[in-house]
Amino acid sequence: MTVTNENIARIFDEVADLLEISGESFFRVRAYRNAARVIRDLATPVQSIARDKTGKLEDLPGIGKDLAMKITEIIETGDLPLRRELESRIPVGLLEVMKVPGIGPRKAHKLYLELGVKDIETLEEVTSRGLVRNLAGFGKKTEENILQGISTIKGFGKRILRAEAEPYAAQIIEYMSSLKGLRRIEIAGSYRRLKETVGDLDILVSCENTAKALDRFINFHMVEKIISQGETRASVMLNIGLQVDMRAVHEESFGAALQYFTGSQAHSVALRRIAMKKGLKLNEYGVFRANERVAGKTEEEVYEALGLPWIPPELRENRGEIASALEGKLPVLVKLEDIKGDLHIHTDATDGRDDALTIIKAARQKGYSYVAITNHSKRVSMAGGLDEKGLLSHWEELEKVEKAIPHIHVLKGVEVDILEDGTLDISEQVLARADYVVAAVHYNTNMSRAQMTRRIIKAISNPFVHALAHATGRIINKRNSYAVDMEEIIAAAAKYDKLLELNAAPDRLDIDDVSCMEAKKHGVKISIATDAHHSGGLDYMRYGIHQARRGWLENEDVINTLNHEELVKILKNKNSRKTI
């Protein structure tokens, strides 16, 4: 059984939630939360540490003998009896209640005890009746936020982050790959198109013995329910609530099936129209002229039969990719290895977990030639934001750290808060001394669309700002974007020669792919940055690359594909227009 770090961390997170709902001690809850964070951020698989006689789980920070035993139990069984025991004490629906913004374990417990809330439905009922506002610690505003949060959750449906699905997809591929006679296996659908979220997983296989392949699939250790099983297809529900469909196809049709089930539907419809004009028929079995299959084994030959070059899956949304392909103008998409540095990182000087030395060393190990350390400014008090004096002192420390690590340049930066009137919460005299300034909204996001747009445009018109971070403020599946006109923001970024940041955190990916395309049209450069708060967060860069590729971005569109000398030259050119 393969158990990933994410599997273990998820179980520990659930245990922590269940303990807190049950009213257990703060210290016990914190132990599980800390353990989950440590495990999730590890580069080395915990399973390999447990099996390596030279290493010990207890050597991991925050992992004592008891937690090490529980990790071993999860590795061996795939679950934890403690989690199941705690789950049996309370309604499982309370875990869903905690996904509503503003409701943590303590509030969920109070709602359960005093109002009988046991799931989203009963929460919506008592809130709609005005019963929640009377509870101590809640109030009318909390009640309004709960109803809005419920509406948001229902609106998102059952889709999960692609990043959350990724470890399970990898496990299934690994599990199936050991099957004798397996010729090909690929994940299709929105997962292959690198969309932010997926509703399910579509897997295609080609195998000598179809029955054996499907039988092995339905016996995967995470399968909770077999939805259906036929001669060429099986559908299951995993114990994390993710549906996975597997289709067995003949090898001579694999490419056509892969194209068909990858989609998007709009892209496939456009391809079928091209086929019809050429007197051909295109379906999941191949490209046919009358009854003769002329292509189908690979995607490349399917596209070639239609007079097209192969089109990367992430572009297949019928947003101009077919016309570009016909004209020989498909973009050469940016790749992870093209990135030379990360321009948005936090340290323990504010709300980061690692100190500057640790995180800069980690960046250097990735081969980066530069990083920008951009801790929060004073307005973001909840994150320990720095005032002018603290920021200057912090930059002095960064200069010392830079000297201690060879072959990497450290840009002294700040994530400066955009106040309600569009001004910044750090003086221009201090911002003038920064190497890199990224501006962002953190508070009072309930403004009208026009007000928020004016607020942000005023901020990025400031000559001391280099970039705008998380422009819409969304958190995927948890918080909708605040009201803002992105077309106006992008036009303003072009006018004032500002960068737009693509936040690579998988639950943000802000800006989205459509905004990336729009920025490219306006000549606005993008910074793909992780907003990392610990060294493990630097790995988020690949999710930003996924989004950038869906947004048609090439090297020339992304500022941090430049080397340090080129980057500094551009930033200094921007600085040359500043006046105090």
- The CATH number of whichever domain residue 349 belongs to comes to 3.20.20.140
Domain C-terminal end among 248, 265, 286 = 248
Sign of CA dihedral 510, 371, 438, 392: positive
Residue among 113, 106, 105, 144 nearest 128 (CA)? 144
Domain containing residue 186 = 160-248
Q: Is 91 contained in some domain?
A: yes
> 226 - beta bridge partners?
236
Structure confidence at residue 112 (pLDDT): 84
Structure confidence at residue 408 (pLDDT): 97
Residue among 499, 522, 512 nearest 548 (CA)? 512
Listed in sequence order, the residues at least 6 apart from 15 whose beta carbon sits closer than 8 Å to its beta carbon are 32, 80, 82, 83, 86
Helix ranges (DSSP H) in 278-354: 299-305, 321-326
Q: Is 372 contained in some domain?
A: no
pLDDT in tens, 216-269: 999 999 998 898 899 999 999 998 888 999 999 999 999 999 999 999 999 999
pTM of the model: 0.79
Verify that 141 and 166 share a domain, yes or no.
no
- Residues across the chain: 580
* Three-state secondary structure of 67-87: HHHHHHHHHHHCCCHHHHHHH
Structure confidence at residue 92 (pLDDT): 65
The tally of domains found in the chain comes to 4
- Sheet containing 409-417: which strands, arranged edge to edge? 341-345, 370-376, 409-417, 436-440, 467-468, 499-503, 526-529
Residue among 423, 402, 426 nearest 412 (CA)? 402
CA-CA distance, 269 to 314, in Å (whole number)?
A: 16
Residue type, 86: L
Structure confidence at residue 1 (pLDDT): 52
pLDDT in tens, 538-563: 999 999 999 999 999 999 999 999 99
Q: How far, in Å, are 344, 353, 515, 568, 572 from residue 565 at the CA level? A: 18, 30, 28, 5, 11
The pair of structure tokens assigned to 351 is: 């709300």
CA-CA distance, 199 to 307, in Å (whole number)?
A: 32
Structure confidence at residue 18 (pLDDT): 85
Q: Is 143 contained in some domain?
A: yes
Verify that 495 and 570 share a domain, yes or no.
yes
Q: How far, in Å, are 234, 340, 504, 529 from residue 545 at the CA level? A: 32, 13, 8, 10
Verify that 515 and 482 share a domain, yes or no.
yes
The pair of structure tokens assigned to 46 is: 């915990």
Residue among 111, 103, 106 nearest 145 (CA)? 103
Structure confidence at residue 103 (pLDDT): 80
> 436 - beta bridge partners?
413
Verify that 169 and 66 share a domain, yes or no.
no
Verify that 273 and 201 share a domain, yes or no.
no
- The CATH number of whichever domain residue 305 belongs to comes to 3.30.210.10
Q: Is 57 contained in some domain?
A: yes
Verify that 74 and 13 share a domain, yes or no.
yes
Domain C-terminal end among 223, 248, 273 = 248
Verify that 269 and 235 share a domain, yes or no.
no
Provide φ and ψ at 526, rounded to 5°.
-110, 140
Residue type, 198: V
Q: Is 315 contained in some domain?
A: yes
Q: Is 389 contained in some domain?
A: no
CA-CA distance, 299 to 483, in Å (whole number)?
A: 41
Verify that 322 and 345 share a domain, yes or no.
no
Verify that 428 and 532 share a domain, yes or no.
yes
CA-CA distance, 104 to 354, in Å (whole number)?
A: 26
Verify that 65 and 164 share a domain, yes or no.
no
- The CATH number of whichever domain residue 201 belongs to comes to 3.30.460.10
Verify that 454 and 547 share a domain, yes or no.
yes
Domain C-terminal end among 111, 138, 156 = 156
Q: Is 363 contained in some domain?
A: no
Verify that 9 and 135 share a domain, yes or no.
yes
Structure confidence at residue 398 (pLDDT): 97
Structure confidence at residue 24 (pLDDT): 80
**Eight-class DSSP state of 538:** G
Q: Is 14 contained in some domain?
A: yes
Residues of the chain with pLDDT under 50: 54, 156, 577-580
